[in-house]
Structures are given as structure tokens and as C-alpha cells.
């Protein structure tokens, strides 16, 4: 829920907005549907009837919108096309009332087909496009869907570790992580997650109530690159929050602004079993794999959480004190009105749980900086920016800051591990930063807006070397992020094109099938016409000129010779040819101007058909 103060000249106007209302309404509608209360339409599928509400159906489906708009009487019945099966329609009907789509391997195709035919809204085609290849043979899907590399290795490793794979974005599709055929079937088959663009859902509000921009960096929680794996391993799992959050049942769900604005708690929910959820600020989609006991009938729920109530939940595994600490911290921060004007506090907050957290160093040690613009919760803000999580190098900086309370530049605490795992330039940079004793972390400097940065430069006295370094770091960090965004866009573009290709392929197959059906229909019709013509010829005793007229009505696809086997013989007789020539040489003898001949034929054929002819 949110309470928004609208700007008004004199008196304040408040808007109460319930985030649970819509879901409750939908739930009650579903209740009504199941009790057949206030239902005003019957949908017939394969002879089976389903009661529903017109308004709901029309709201969810273009097909129903069109059909229902033409219905006026109460108790209307709508028969769905043959292509829609019960197995395909029933999950869609439930989806309309619950936002959940439950389907299995066996009926996923039917569901998708039905959804396509009925024009069901809010069902992402990408969802099916993601799952279908997984259901099909292992080699089929791999070629259709581009591998998204940003979390590939994490997924792979997570699968091997915990049997859970993560896709942090709609484009993060890696068939390897979910390929059914695997050395460890249990682990790999449980790994399914479809998430619709977490980025787009994480528009967030800071704790101070101001809107903050949507951060693409939220994905970096799962994008710890291979380049830093060594570092991650070196620093231990406890300090690698993203890794742990993926691997362990730490659950932090939030649909509201407070937590969803942070990548650490960007609504990643990994259940103990085989469920992985993402939920975002405004909407989210998840695929939850339900698994029965030692069976093949796994079901997948496509769950639109748009209307779900606010949830702030932290579940921790007893074996993991680290995650419990993280969760507790998140909840504390969420619930507190913690504001800080200490910029350095940003970096450490999200890694307070690190094993290397020593707690020494204190804000009081920092040089005083007047930063009145930093009014929002620094923890959230920093997470929102995603800087602490975007890569190992920055992660280490965050840790450094968290441990000492001062910037990693001059903390001098994280030297060895990073030096040996990062590039020489980074080590050199750190060494320089250490020497310069900058009071700010790189992240914090990069986070500042242009004006804020300028203000900082004015209020803070830097040496020329420091100034140069700060500018350089800011430039390179921003450029690094820009490069990551750029690459992500490229991959998104490739993925979208691939989806487009798949759609066109599907359309093509559909058209080919349709053409085949039409061809068969044509053959059948030709057969019928042949039978009729033969009957006419045998019963009506057609004259040659009548036969000629008949010949004119035939098409190359269905020639007269096929209709009347002996037509050639008949027409080749000299006497008949003469009569035919005379007939053909008659002026203005168009298809509709056959005069007596046609009339004779028509009459004869009609007689033949009706049985009233003079036999």
C-alpha cells in the first residue's frame, strides 16, 4: 500500500492506493466462477462447458472481446474453435481468474496454441518460447534460443551446487542450465526460471519518497563474471552475497519500493524446493516448477505477481547465519528510517555480513563532508545503484569500505586478494588511491550526479593528483557501466530478433498446414465433381456440344477427361468435331452466352440431378 501526498495549492489531497484490492477482486471473481455465481456466459470446448463472466473473459482475451461484444442475451454460449482444446483452454481460464498459468509438459503446446488463438493478454510469448525448447529435445532448443552469457556460468555452477538455476532477465536464457538431459537429472530438471525483465519492474522509490531511476545494474547481482570468479572463491562464499543469495534459500520478496529498489533484495525468492521467484516493483512473472514425489508430472506455473499483496519476507536457512544476517539487516533497514549523510556508509552497508567484516573503522574517522543532497537511505540507494554488486572489483571495494568505514582507496584492507586477482591496472589504481587517501569510494563518486559531483569538487579540496584520479575513475566507471549496458542491449536485440524469427517460423508452419488442408479439400471437391459429372453423363446422355460446354467449365486442375473418361474419344469423332467447330465459331460466345447449348446442358444436368429428366 502506499499513501501518496498529492501536491495541492492549499489543502493536501491524499490518495489511498491498495495494492491488494485488485488481487482480492480477482480472487472473489474466481470464487464466483467456481460457484457459478453471477456467471453470464458458457464457453463450450470440445463439448465441455465452462461457466465464466463475460467481463473477465473479455478483459483477458481478444477473441472473447470480439465474440462477447456481439452477444446480447443472457446465458450466452460461446463455442470455441476446434483448434482450442480443453487441455489448452482450462489453464487459460484459470489464468484469467488467478494470474497463474499452470501447465505441464504434455499440454504446454495446447496451452500456447489456445492462448494464441484466443489472443490471451498478459501471457508472454517469450515464456513459452523459453520453456518449449526445454521440453523438446535437447538439441532442438539450443539452436533456437541464443544463450545469454551474463549469468551463464553462475547458472551452471548453481545448478551443480544446488540444483537451482537463475535467469535474472528475460533474455537470460541458457539452455545449458535447464537442459533436461544432464548428468544430474534431478538437479538440472529443477532449474527453471522465467522472469520478465526484472529491470523494467524495478522502478523504485527511495525511502525519502522520491523516485529513483530504474537501474539496469540490478541484473549484475547475477552477473558476476568469470573474470572475478577467482576473487569470489578467494573471498569466500560469505562475502559474496550475490552468489549466496542465489544458492541459498534466502528469500526477500518485496513488491514495494523499499526493498525492491535494491538488487540485493530485488525480489529474488528461492524456495527450498524447486521454486524460484522473482518479483518486481510493479509486476513480475515467475515460473514455479512444482514437483510431485519421484514423478514426471512436473508442472509449471506462470505467475503474474502484478496484483499480489506487498510481501516483505525473509526466510533464512538455519545453517546460514550469514544470510540470516543479511535478511535481518534488510528488514531492519526497510523498517527503519535510517538516513545517513555519510557517503562512505553506502559502500559497506550491503556487505556488512561479509566474513571479512571487522567492524573497525568508524564514520567519525572520516573527513567531514557536507553532503546535504544525500538524504535517502544510503543502503537502499547504494543497492539501487547496484554498484556494490556489479562486479568483483567493486564488490571488493565495497567490502573494504564496509570494513574500515573509509574508502577502499585508502583502507588498505583488501589489497592482497584483489591484487592477485585483478588486472595490473586495477592494482595500480588501488595503489594510487591508497597513496592519495581519498575520502570517498569510487562507487560513491560515480553515483553522484553531475551537479553533485561538481558541488563535491567545490566543497572538497583535492590535490591536482587526486582530482585527476577522481575524474579518471569516474569516467572509467561510468564508461564501464555504459559498456555493460551497451552489450546488454545488443544481446537483447539479438534475442528479440531470434524471437521474431521463431514467430515467423511458426507462422510459416501454420500456413503450410493450412495450404495442405486446402489442397486436400480441393482434391475431395474434385472427386465429388467427378462423381457428379459421371453421373450426369451416364444418365443425361449429353450431346457433343453439351459436352463441349461442360469442358469449358472445367479447370486445369480438374480436367474434363478426368470427369468423363471417354470425352476425348467422343470429341474426336468427325461429325462431332464439325458441330463443335460450328459451335465455337459462333460470335460472342462467352462463358455466359452459350444459349441453347448451355441451356440444354443445364436442363439435362438439372434433370439428371433432380431425376426429372426424360429418360
Partner DNA sequence: TGAAATTGTCATCAG
Partner DNA sequence: CTCTGATGACAATTT
Angle between helix 86-98 and 21-35 (nearest 10): 140
Q: Rule CB under 7 A: choose which of 425, 555, 585, 588 binds DNA.
A: 425
DSSP per residue, 281-334: SS--EEEEEE--SS-S--EEEEEE-TTPPP--EEE--TT-HHHHHHHHHHHHHH
Give yes or no for residue 408 binding DNA (CB under 7 A).
no
If one asks whether residue 72 binds DNA (CB under 7 A), the answer comes out as: no
Q: Tell me the closest approach of the beta carbon of residue 453 to DNA, in angstroms.
A: 5
Choice from 475, 508, 522, 527 touching DNA (CB under 7 A): 475
Q: Does the footprint of DNA cover residue 431 (CB under 7 A)?
A: no
Considering beta carbons, is residue 176 or 299 the nearer one to DNA? 176
- Smallest gap from Cβ 204 to DNA, in A, equals 17
Contact status: 478 vs DNA (CB under 7 A):
yes
> Shortest gap between Cβ of 227 and DNA (angstroms)?
4
In what helix (H) or strand (E) does residue 6 lie, and over which residues does it extend? strand 2-6
The C-alpha cell that represents 582 in the structure block: 460450328
Cell numbers at 6, concatenated:
498529492
Place of cell 455466359: 592
CA angle 225, 229, 233 (to 5 degrees): 150
Judged by CB under 7 A, the stretch of 221-229, 261-269, 375-383, 585-593 that binds DNA is: 221-229
Q: At what angle do helices 62-69 and 108-118 cross, to 10 degrees?
A: 50
Distance separating alpha carbons of residues 387 and 377, to the nearest angstrom? 15
E strands along 222-284, which residues?
A: 251-253, 268-270, 276-278
| Binding track, positions 488-527, relative to DNA; x by CB under 7 A | -xx-------------------------------------
* Positions in 153-172 near DNA (CB under 7 A): 153
DSSP 8-class letter at 105: T
Q: Does 578 bind DNA (CB under 7 A)?
A: no
Helices (H), ranges, 85-151: 86-98, 108-118, 125-135, 138-144
Asked if residue 535 binds DNA (CB under 7 A), the reply is no
Report yes or no: 255 and 305 within 8 Å, Cβ to Cβ.
yes
| Grid cell for residue 297 | 508430472
> Which of 480, 554, 579, 609 contacts DNA by CB under 7 A?
480
Cα separation, 4 vs 13, in Å, equals 9
Q: How far is the CB of 167 from DNA (least distance, A)?
A: 13
Cα distance between the two ends of the chain: 88
> Does 430 participate in binding DNA (rule CB under 7 A)?
no
Site string for DNA, 346-385 (x = CB under 7 A): ----------------------------------------
What whole-number distance in Å separates Cα of residue 48 and Cα of residue 54? Answer: 18
**597 grid coordinates:** 447449348
β 76-79/41-45 pair status: parallel
Indicate which single residue of 33, 54, 152, 305 sits in contact with DNA (rule: CB under 7 A).
152
How many Å apart are CA 202 and CA 261, to the nearest integer? Answer: 6
Determine, following the binding rule CB under 7 A, whether residue 548 of this chain makes contact with DNA.
no
Q: Nearest distance from residue 368's CB to DNA, in Å?
A: 23
Beta bridge partners of 558: 555
Nearer to DNA, 24 or 490 (CB): 490
Q: Out of 307, 421, 548, 605, name the contact with DNA by CB under 7 A.
A: 421
User: Which range touches DNA (CB under 7 A), out of 108-116, 313-321, 346-354, 386-394?
Assistant: 386-394
Greatest distance between any 2 Cα atoms in the chain: 122
Neighbour order of strands in the sheet with 268-270: 276-278, 268-270, 251-253, 313-315
Q: State which of positions 256-275 bind DNA (CB under 7 A).
A: none
Instruction: Rule CB under 7 A: say whether 66 interacts with DNA.
Output: no
State in angstroms the smallest separation of the CB of 20 from DNA: 36
Q: Which one of 48-56, 59-67, 362-370, 417-425 is the stretch in contact with DNA (CB under 7 A)? A: 417-425
Is residue 531 within the footprint of DNA (CB under 7 A)? no
Residue from 262, 376, 411, 477 touching DNA (CB under 7 A): that is: 477
Binding of DNA at residue 176 (CB under 7 A)?
Answer: no
For residues 455 and 470, what is the distance between their CA atoms, to the nearest angstrom?
14
Does 149 participate in binding DNA (rule CB under 7 A)?
A: yes
The residues that bridge with 394 in the sheet, in sequence order, are: none
Q: Of the listed pieces 69-77, 222-230, 324-332, 521-529, which binds DNA according to CB under 7 A?
A: 222-230
CB of 35 to DNA, least distance (A): 51
Q: How far is the CB of 57 from DNA (least distance, A)?
A: 41
Residue 324 engages DNA in binding (rule: CB under 7 A): no
| CA dist 231 → 394, 412, 612 (Å) | 11, 17, 97
- Binding window for DNA (CB under 7 A); candidates: 112-120, 183-191, 446-454, 580-588: 446-454
Rounded-to-10 torsion of CA 470, 473, 478, 481: -150
| Minimum distance of DNA from residue 72's CB (angstroms) | 52
Dist. CA 2–CA 81, nearest whole Å: 44
Among 367, 423, 565, 595, binds DNA (CB under 7 A): 423
Contact call for residue 464 and DNA (CB under 7 A): no
Nearer to DNA, 183 or 424 (CB): 424
Contact flag: residue 484 with DNA (CB under 7 A): yes
Residue 426 sits at φ, ψ, to 5 deg, of: -65, -45
- Residue tagged 527503519 (cell numbers): 336
Number of residues that bind DNA (CB under 7 A): 41
Residue 332 contacts DNA per CB under 7 A: no
Look up cell 529513483; give the residue.
212
CA 255-259-264 angle, to 5 degrees, is 115
Stretch that binds DNA, among 63-71, 313-321, 360-368, 425-433 (CB under 7 A): 425-433
Assess 4 for contact with DNA (CB under 7 A).
no
Separation CA 402–CA 264 (nearest Å)? 16
Contacting residues toward DNA, per CB under 7 A: 147, 149-150, 152-153, 223-227, 229-230, 390-391, 393, 421, 423-426, 429, 449-450, 453, 471-472, 474-480, 482-487, 489-490
Amino acid at each position: 500500500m502506499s499513501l501518496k501526498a498529492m501536491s495541492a495549492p492549499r489543502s493536501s489531497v491524499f490518495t489511498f492506493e491498495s495494492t491488494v484490492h485488485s488481487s482480492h477482486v480477482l480472487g472473489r471473481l474466481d470464487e464466483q466462477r467456481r460457484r457459478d455465481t453471477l456467471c453470464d456466459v458458457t464457453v463450450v470446448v470440445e463439448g465441455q462447458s465452462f461457466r465464466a463472466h463475460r467481463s473477465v473473459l473479455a478483459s483477458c482475451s481478444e477473441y472473447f472481446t470480439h465474440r462477447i461484444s456481439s452477444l446480447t442475451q443472457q446465458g450466452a454460449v460461446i463455442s470455441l474453435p476446434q483448434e482450442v482444446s480443453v487441455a489448452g483452454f482450462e489453464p487459460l481460464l484459470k489464468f484469467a481468474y488467478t494470474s497463474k498459468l499452470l501447465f505441464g509438459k504434455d499440454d504446454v503446446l495446447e496451452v500456447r496454441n489456445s492462448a494464441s488463438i484466443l489472443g490471451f493478454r498478459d501471457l508472454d510469448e517469450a515464456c513459452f518460447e523459453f520453456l518449449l525448447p526445454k521440453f523438446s529435445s535437447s538439441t532442438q532448443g539450443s539452436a533456437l534460443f541464443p544463450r545469454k552469457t551474463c549469468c551463464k556460468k553462475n547458472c551452471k555452477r548453481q545448478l551443480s551446487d544446488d540444483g537451482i538455476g537463475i535467469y535474472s532477465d528475460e533474455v537470460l536464457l541458457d539452455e545449458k542450465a535447464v537442459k533436461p538431459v544432464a548428468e544430474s537429472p534431478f538437479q538440472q530438471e529443477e532449474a527453471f526460471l522465467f522472469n520478465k525483465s526484472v529491470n523494467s519492474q524495478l522502478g523504485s522509490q527511495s525511502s525519502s519518497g522520491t523516485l529513483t531511476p530504474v537501474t539496469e545494474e540490478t541484473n549484475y547481482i547475477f552477473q558476476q563474471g568469470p573474470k572475478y570468479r577467482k576473487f569470489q572463491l578467494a573471498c569466500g562464499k560469505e562475502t559474496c552475497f550475490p552468489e549466496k543469495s542465489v544458492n541459498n534459500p534466502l528469500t526477500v520478496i518485496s513488491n514495494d519500493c523499499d526493498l525492491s529498489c535494491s538488487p540485493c533484495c530485488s525480489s529474488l525468492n528461492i524456495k527450498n524446493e524447486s521454486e524460484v521467484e522473482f518479483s518486481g516493483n510493479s509486476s513480475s512473472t515467475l515460473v514455479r516448477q512444482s514437483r510431485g514425489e519421484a514423478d514426471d508430472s512436473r508442472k509449471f506455473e506462470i505467475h503474474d505477481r502484478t496484483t499480489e499483496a506487498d510481501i516483505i519476507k525473509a526466510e533464512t536457512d538455519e545453517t546460514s547465519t550469514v544470510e540470516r544476517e543479511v535478511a535481518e539487516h534488510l528488514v531492519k533497514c526497510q523498517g527503519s528510517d535510517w538516513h545517513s549523510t555519510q557517503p562512505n556508509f553506502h559502500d559497506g552497508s550491503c556487505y556488512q555480513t561479509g566474513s571479512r567484516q571487522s567492524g573497525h573503522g568508524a564514520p567519525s574517522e572520516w573527513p567531514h563532508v557536507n553532503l546535504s543532497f544525500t538524504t535517502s537511505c544510503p543502503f537502499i540507494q547504494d543497492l539501487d545503484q547496484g554498484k556494490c554488486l556489479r562486479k568483483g572489483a567493486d564488490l571488493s571495494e565495497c567490502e573494504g569500505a564496509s570494513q574500515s568505514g573509509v574508502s577502499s582507496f585508502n583502507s588498505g584492507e583488501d589489497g592482497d586478494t584483489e591484487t592477485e586477482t585483478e588486472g595490473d591496472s586495477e592494482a595500480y589504481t588501488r595503489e594510487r588511491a591508497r597513496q592519495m587517501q581519498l575520502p570517498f569510494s569510487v562507487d560513491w563518486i560515480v553515483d553522484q550526479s553531475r551537479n553533485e559531483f561538481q558541488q563535491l569538487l567545490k566543497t572538497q579540496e583535492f590535490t591536482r593528483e587526486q582530482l585527476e584520479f577522481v575524474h579518471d575513475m569516474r569516467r572509467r566507471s561510468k564508461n564501464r557501466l555504459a559498456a555493460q549496458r551497451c552489450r546488454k542491449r545488443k544481446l537483447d536485440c539479438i534475442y528479440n530478433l531470434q524471437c521474431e524469427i521463431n514467430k515467423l517460423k511458426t507462422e510459416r508452419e501454420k500456413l503450410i498446414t493450412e495450404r495442405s488442408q486446402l489442397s486436400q479439400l480441393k482434391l475431395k471437391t474434385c472427386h465429388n465433381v467427378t462423381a457428379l459429372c459421371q453421373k450426369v453423363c451416364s444418365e443425361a446422355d449429353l450431346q457433343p456440344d453439351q459436352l463441349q460446354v461442360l469442358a469449358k467449365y472445367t479447370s486445369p486442375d480438374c480436367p474434363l477427361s478426368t470427369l468423363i473418361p471417354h470425352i476425348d474419344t467422343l470429341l474426336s469423332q468427325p461429325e462431332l468435331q464439325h458441330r463443335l467447330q460450328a459451335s465455337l465459331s459462333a460470335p460472342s460466345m462467352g462463358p455466359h452466352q452459350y444459349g441453347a447449348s448451355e441451356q440444354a446442358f443445364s436442363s439435362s444436368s438439372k434433370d439428371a440431378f433432380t431425376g426429372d429428366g426424360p429418360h
